[in-house]
Amino acid sequence: MSADTIVQIAPAEPAGADLTDAMIEIGRRARAASQILATAPESRKNVALTAMAAALRNREAAILTANQVDVEAASAQGAAAAHVDRLRLTPDRVEAMARGIEEISELADPVGRVLARWDRPNGLRIERVATPLGVVGVIYESRPNVTADAGALCLKAGNAVVLRGGSDSLGTARAIHDGLVAGLSHAGLPETAIQIVPTTDRQAVGEMLAGLGGTLDVIVPRGGKSLVARVQEEARVPVFAHLEGICHVYVHGPADLDMASRIVVNAKMRRTGICGAAETLLVDRTLRDSHLAPLIDSLIAAGCAIRGDEAAQEADARVEPATEGDWCTEYLDAILSVRVVDGLDAAIDHIARYGTQHTEAIVTDDARAAEAFLERVDSAIVVHNASTQFADGGEFGMGAEIGIATGRMHARGPVGVEQLTSFKYRVRGSGQTRP
Amino acid sequence: MSADTIVQIAPAEPAGADLTDAMIEIGRRARAASQILATAPESRKNVALTAMAAALRNREAAILTANQVDVEAASAQGAAAAHVDRLRLTPDRVEAMARGIEEISELADPVGRVLARWDRPNGLRIERVATPLGVVGVIYESRPNVTADAGALCLKAGNAVVLRGGSDSLGTARAIHDGLVAGLSHAGLPETAIQIVPTTDRQAVGEMLAGLGGTLDVIVPRGGKSLVARVQEEARVPVFAHLEGICHVYVHGPADLDMASRIVVNAKMRRTGICGAAETLLVDRTLRDSHLAPLIDSLIAAGCAIRGDEAAQEADARVEPATEGDWCTEYLDAILSVRVVDGLDAAIDHIARYGTQHTEAIVTDDARAAEAFLERVDSAIVVHNASTQFADGGEFGMGAEIGIATGRMHARGPVGVEQLTSFKYRVRGSGQTRP
């Protein structure tokens, strides 16, 4: 399907059973493309990625024009400033997308890695080898860069992808998609390897959640909590996602106050809107007199509002009372809940009760306490003496990520190209039969 | 919940909303137990497993008595002989269950393995460490040994398990379960780590498929095709399963006829009822004159009926005509479909069209063709010059398996203790904050 075909489909948007059929057809094309991608050589995938980056740069004017239309429509409909900002592209942002694709092309090929290898006493040689997952569905909201990032990451891992962007950014997404398709075409790879759903009908999301007739292997939602919740609730295929990141920092005695202060302020305030931002500070009771007030003071000095338990309120008059609801709130804002806890067990219990198994940190000089925290806290990422904001595929050295998963199946933590692969067993014999 | 408590619940079996509540309570207990198991030391898990094996031996008489009741009830209801045989225990079978548990205790602990370790330029040290999956649900049919195998495998991997056996074997399963609980208790581990659903009401299966109020992490169905199909269709949680094993052997030219014959006969006839048994033989057209008739002859000599295409019928008058349906039939019997194909591409296309992504083998002396087959065939297990019947966790050296999975998510191929784990990231710093 060429980009031109997509544009032709759009004017007469299918609905109901027709839309179901059209979506399943998209899935079938993706499955067929995935079978070609599965054995595509690394060099060809990288040629496509490099050509995609060039195509985005070449099409900068067209992309910005399409984006201007989307931005004006959103503004006319009264979209909030933050929403319009997420939607808006600039020459710098287009260049960042192109550079992001080039960085993905520079990653090692995740397909074909030998994950394990052993011989059996009967002479069979067994290898566990990474293979693509197959077909990935990505459902996202306003950010147009997801089109480029997700398309490139899936291609690198040998997967076909079906992209369903926000209705407010469909024009922008299509202009970017044109560039991705140009790259695929340049490399002789199937253009259906990266498809974009050509309708804003919300039924299309339902069709993806139903699995597109068994052709989708996994769905990745990228967006706000209501989108992720809907996907997690309704999807009939596996989902890589996190619903919320209610991340904790636990300052345990003994802990260097300066280091604790720097880590806590960074974990909360570096960027408040990302999933790895801290939402609750737990301070050990042994540090109540020495650390609590200075920690609160540095947070407030950095512009953070504090909602705390009685001890926190006593430590600083500017602290507002925390309610039960605060312990389970992902503020994504310059607000932090603060609680004094009675030791490691109480901190771990608090995290088990209110946490979302995303990222938690302990700040302590006590190596034994740190190891116990790292072992016992059941989160995708557990951190000793560093900021929770390192919860990021790039910071982990994994390259770009398609998201962060908090489930326990297949992918957990940052979902990069390696996490977008599966595996199979290759068995080499010399005539062995089973006794 | 002690074994006694279970027996008390049974007489007044809950139904409807009460059963929903009772099942969700089982899930909650499993989740609570899983949190204790997650950090249980290897030694304690092994003490429990060893004590379980001893308890099964000590309770042999009670287990056989309970089994006799189940067997008589099944016979009285006119169950088929094969069904009754799967249900029936003997002293040897009890001993095999006990020995199987001891073998699981001897496996390396899959929890806590460092799967990867690297340092970042900023000094952060990152480890990817294996953790338990959480709570496993196992839904199975008549075979009572699944109670022991699944209970022990899940415990070894630090998971709690909810077992739902066949209604015809509930008495036997409970008697075995008593022994497992005795082992847990002996080791000081929560008895709710291994629970058995104490009702034969089929609604209980539906409750498990719905996830027991979000407490089940994965479901493993063990049984016939209709059970697996229902679980795959209805489960709202991930499933480790294979629906069918339509396994292929492709004899490619040049291939040694003796070796090909031994492998094909073994792949089909060693045991016809297992999922790794071959169901279709593909013979390359270049071998039509040299290999086809002798291969068919050795299969028929071994007691196998052949359904073939025209070439196969011409090669041997005893070959019945194959219909389109034969290429997609898992006979699980001494029947094989045989087809002549035009080269490697045609063989791979046939497998892609009719296969179930379980296990496929190529027999050839041509190393390039073998490697192309191993790379391009999208099955959990691909084999060169050996029997498909090696598709088994034990034969892979992985120890006991809870089943074989053909999906691409998380586990693929034999599902042993390692596949019953997830992972998390441990990050160790010295005060790093993110710029």
The three state secondary structure string of A75-134 is HHCCCCHHHHHHHCCCHHHHHHHHHHHHHHHHCCCCCCCEEEEEECCCCCEEEEEEEECC
Nearest residue of A to residue B409, measured between CA atoms: A410
More confident residue, A71 or A253: A71
User: What's residue B231's pLDDT?
Assistant: 95
- B272 to chain A, any CB pair closer than 8 A? The answer is no
Nearest residue of B to residue A238, measured between CA atoms: B238
Beginning with the edge strand found earlier in the chain, give each strand of the sheet holding A421-432 in spatial order.
Answer: A114-119, A125-132, A421-432, B381-386, B359-363, B247-251, B278-284, B335-341, B305-308, B320-321
Q: Determine, for residues A375 and B39 on separate chains, whether the beta-carbon distance falls below 8 Å.
A: yes
Q: Are residues A140 and A262 in the same domain?
A: no
Q: Chain A residues with CB inside 8 Å of B393's CB?
A: none
Nearest by CB: A383 against B409, B412, B429? B429
Write out the two tokens for A196: 């974009």
Residues 403-432 of B with CB under 8 A from A: 408-410, 412-413, 422-432
Q: Are residues A50 and A194 in the same domain?
A: yes
User: Rounded to a whole number, what is the distance in Å from the CA of A208 to chain B's nearest CA?
Assistant: 16
Is the pLDDT assigned to residue B12 strictly greater than 60? no
Nearest by CB: B432 against A374, A387, A408? A387
Q: Are residues B120 and B165 in the same domain?
A: yes
Nearest by CB: A262 against B217, B259, B431? B431
Nearest by CB: A263 against B375, B428, B433? B433
pLDDT tens-digit readout, B119-129:
999 999 999 99
Biggest CA pair distance of chain A = 79
Instruction: Give residue A314's domain range.
Output: 247-390
More confident residue, A224 or A380: A380
Q: Are residues B199 and B270 in the same domain?
A: no
- A300 to chain B, any CB pair closer than 8 A? The answer is no
**pLDDT interval class at A7 (50, 70, 90):** very low
User: Rounded to a whole number, what is the distance in Å from the CA of B59 to chain A's nearest CA?
Assistant: 32
- A133 to chain B, any CB pair closer than 8 A? The answer is yes
Is the pLDDT assigned to residue B7 strictly greater than 50? no
With CA atoms as reference, report the closest residue to B427 among A351, A373, A253: A373
Is the pLDDT assigned to residue B190 strictly greater than 90? yes
pLDDT tens-digit readout, A173-194:
999 999 999 999 999 999 999 9
Integer Cα distance of A410 and A421 in angstroms: 9
* CATH code of the domain in which A160 resides: 3.40.605.10
Q: Chain B residues with CB inside 8 Å of A408's CB?
A: 131, 133-134, 217, 422
Integer Cα distance of A413 and B63 in angstroms: 45
Q: Are residues B93 and B215 in the same domain?
A: yes
Q: Chain B residues with CB inside 8 Å of A387's CB?
A: 432-434
Q: In this structure, is residue B406 part of a structural domain?
A: no
Q: In this structure, is residue A143 part of a structural domain?
A: yes
Q: Are residues B49 and B169 in the same domain?
A: yes
CB B405 within 8 A of CB B411: yes
Three-state helix/strand/coil letters over B272-307: CCCCCCEEEEEEEHHHHHHHHHHHHHHHHHCCCEEE
Is the pLDDT assigned to residue A2 strictly greater than 70? no
Residues 3-42 of B with CB under 8 A from A: 35, 38-39
User: What's residue B16's pLDDT?
Assistant: 82
Integer Cα distance of A376 and A149 in angstroms: 34
For chain A, count helices (H), then strands (E).
Answer: 16, 16
CB A420 within 8 A of CB B432: no
SS3 call for A159:
coil
User: What's residue A110's pLDDT?
Assistant: 97
Q: Are residues B263 and B367 in the same domain?
A: yes
Is the pLDDT assigned to residue B82 strictly greater than 90? no
User: Rounded to a whole number, what is the distance in Å from the CA of A126 to chain B's nearest CA?
Assistant: 8
Nearest by CB: B409 against A124, A385, A409? A409
Q: Chain A residues with CB inside 8 Å of B269's CB?
A: none
Q: Chain A residues with CB inside 8 Å of B428's CB?
A: 370, 374, 383-386
- B398 to chain A, any CB pair closer than 8 A? The answer is no
User: What's residue A431's pLDDT?
Assistant: 97
Q: Are residues B220 and B318 in the same domain?
A: no
pLDDT tens-digit readout, A294-334:
999 999 999 999 999 999 999 999 999 999 999 999 999 99
The sign of the CA dihedral B73, B76, B79, B81 is positive
pLDDT tens-digit readout, B315-331:
999 999 999 999 999 99
Q: Are residues B306 and B343 in the same domain?
A: yes
Q: In this structure, is residue A405 part of a structural domain?
A: no
Query: Which of B234, B257, B275 is the last residue in one of the domains?
Result: B234
Q: Are residues B23 and B99 in the same domain?
A: yes
- B229 to chain A, any CB pair closer than 8 A? The answer is no
Q: What residues pair up with B381 in beta bridges, in sequence order?
A: A425, B359
Q: Kindly report the pTM of this predicted structure.
A: 0.92
Q: Determine, for residues A397 and B118 on separate chains, whether the beta-carbon distance falls below 8 Å.
A: yes
Nearest residue of B to residue A381, measured between CA atoms: B425
Q: Are residues B295 and B345 in the same domain?
A: yes
User: What's residue A9's pLDDT?
Assistant: 41
Structural domain tally of chain B? 2
**pLDDT interval class at A10 (50, 70, 90):** very low
Q: Determine, for residues A383 and B126 on separate chains, whether the beta-carbon distance falls below 8 Å.
A: no
Q: Which of A383, A427, A430 is the best mutation test for B, with the most CBs of B within 10 A?
A: A427
The sign of the CA dihedral A394, A399, A405, A406 is negative
Q: In this structure, is residue B363 part of a structural domain?
A: yes
Integer Cα distance of A158 and A39 in angstroms: 8
Q: In this structure, is residue B434 part of a structural domain?
A: no
Q: Determine, for residues B387 and A262 on separate chains, whether the beta-carbon distance falls below 8 Å.
A: no
Q: Determine, for residues B376 and A39 on separate chains, whether the beta-carbon distance falls below 8 Å.
A: yes
User: Rounded to a whole number, what is the distance in Å from the CA of B36 to chain A's nearest CA?
Assistant: 10
Is the pLDDT assigned to residue B2 strictly greater than 90? no
Q: Chain B residues with CB inside 8 Å of A120's CB?
A: 395-397
Position of tokens 């891992």? Answer: A157
- B356 to chain A, any CB pair closer than 8 A? The answer is no
* CATH code of the domain in which B256 resides: 3.40.309.10
Mean pLDDT of chain B: 94
**pLDDT interval class at A3 (50, 70, 90):** very low
**pLDDT interval class at B13 (50, 70, 90):** low
Integer Cα distance of B228 and A19 in angstroms: 30
- A398 to chain B, any CB pair closer than 8 A? The answer is no
pLDDT tens-digit readout, B96-117:
999 999 999 999 999 999 999 9
Q: Chain A residues with CB inside 8 Å of B429's CB?
A: 383-386, 390
pLDDT tens-digit readout, A318-374:
999 999 999 999 999 999 999 999 999 999 999 999 999 999 999 999 999 999 999
Q: In this structure, is residue B411 part of a structural domain?
A: no
**pLDDT interval class at A4 (50, 70, 90):** very low
pLDDT tens-digit readout, B404-425:
999 999 999 999 999 999 999 9
Share of chain B above pLDDT 90, in %: 91
Q: Chain A residues with CB inside 8 Å of B259's CB?
A: 431
pLDDT tens-digit readout, A24-53:
999 999 999 999 999 999 999 999 999 999
Is the pLDDT assigned to residue B9 strictly greater than 80? no
Residue B86 vs residues A38, A365, B74, B138, B145: alpha-carbon distances, Å: 41, 58, 11, 18, 10
Q: Chain B residues with CB inside 8 Å of A268's CB?
A: none
Nearest by CB: B39 against A265, A376, A413? A376
Nearest by CB: B390 against A375, A427, A431? A427
pLDDT tens-digit readout, A276-300:
999 999 999 999 999 999 999 999 9
User: What's residue A160's pLDDT?
Assistant: 98
Nearest by CB: B409 against A266, A374, A410? A410
Q: In this structure, is residue B266 part of a structural domain?
A: yes
Query: Which of B372, B390, B408 is the last residue in one of the domains?
Result: B390
Nearest by CB: B383 against A384, A389, A429? A429
Q: Determine, for residues A270 and B433 on separate chains, whether the beta-carbon distance falls below 8 Å.
A: yes
Share of chain A above pLDDT 90, in %: 91
Mean pLDDT of A162-166: 95
**pLDDT interval class at A399 (50, 70, 90):** confident
Is the pLDDT assigned to residue B225 strictly greater than 70? yes
Q: Are residues A199 and A274 in the same domain?
A: no
Position of tokens 């034990």? Answer: B394
- A126 to chain B, any CB pair closer than 8 A? The answer is yes
Mean pLDDT of B152-177: 96
- A188 to chain B, any CB pair closer than 8 A? The answer is no
User: What's residue B3's pLDDT?
Assistant: 35
pLDDT tens-digit readout, A373-397:
999 999 999 999 999 999 999 999 9
Is the pLDDT assigned to residue A216 strictly greater than 50? yes
Mean pLDDT of B17-31: 95
More confident residue, B86 or B43: B43
Mean pLDDT of chain A: 94
Nearest by CB: B396 against A126, A265, A430? A126
Residues 46-85 of B with CB under 8 A from A: none
Q: In this structure, is residue B418 part of a structural domain?
A: no
User: Rounded to a whole number, what is the distance in Å from the CA of B371 to chain A's nearest CA?
Assistant: 9
User: What's residue A409's pLDDT?
Assistant: 93
Is the pLDDT assigned to residue B4 strictly greater than 70? no
- B371 to chain A, any CB pair closer than 8 A? The answer is no
- A259 to chain B, any CB pair closer than 8 A? The answer is yes
User: Rounded to a whole number, what is the distance in Å from the CA of B97 to chain A's nearest CA?
Assistant: 21
Its ipTM equals 0.93
Taking CB atoms and an 8 Å cut-off, how many pairs form between chains A and B?
Answer: 180
